[in-house]
Homo-oligomer: A and B are copies of this chain.
């Protein structure tokens, strides 16, 4: 039976408050603000548990590596800000999958990653 722990609550709360894909390091660091003793192993164990339960999913970013994000959002692109180093979800899809696919190929999915400066860091 799954128990309700302050550690797991803290981890989930980090996602709800940040509302963007997060790396393990940031989850641990931000979660530690609420549960001081929060341990890396605990974070990993809970991330695995939350992915298995469908509450989170894994995002593999070409620059940032592995991140975790809340499930339930529609297909979207990702924006990585080189200044604050955060990854943002960009609602919508500006890729014409058909145009992008060469003859003979069958595209089943795609991922788009943008790089630059976010609105908070630009100018």
A contacts, CB < 8 Å to B: 60-63, 77, 79, 82, 90, 92, 94-97, 99-119, 122
Contact = CB atoms under 8 A, between A and B. Distances in A.
Prevailing SS type, chain A contact patch: strand
Copies of this chain in the oligomer: 2
Contacts of A101: 79, 90, 114, 116
- Ranked nearest first, the 9 interchain pairs of A and B with the lowest CB-CB distance are A104-B119, A94-B100, A60-B62, A94-B99, A108-B116, A107-B116, A106-B117, A109-B115, A106-B116
A79 B112 CA distance: 12
Nearest to A91: B102
A114 B94 contact: no
A105 B122 contact: yes
A64 B28 CA distance: 26
A123 B115 CA distance: 36
Contacts of A116: 101, 105-109
A71 B32 CA distance: 44
Most chain B CB neighbours (cut-off 10 Å) among A96, A103, A107, A122: A107
Contacts of A97: 94, 114
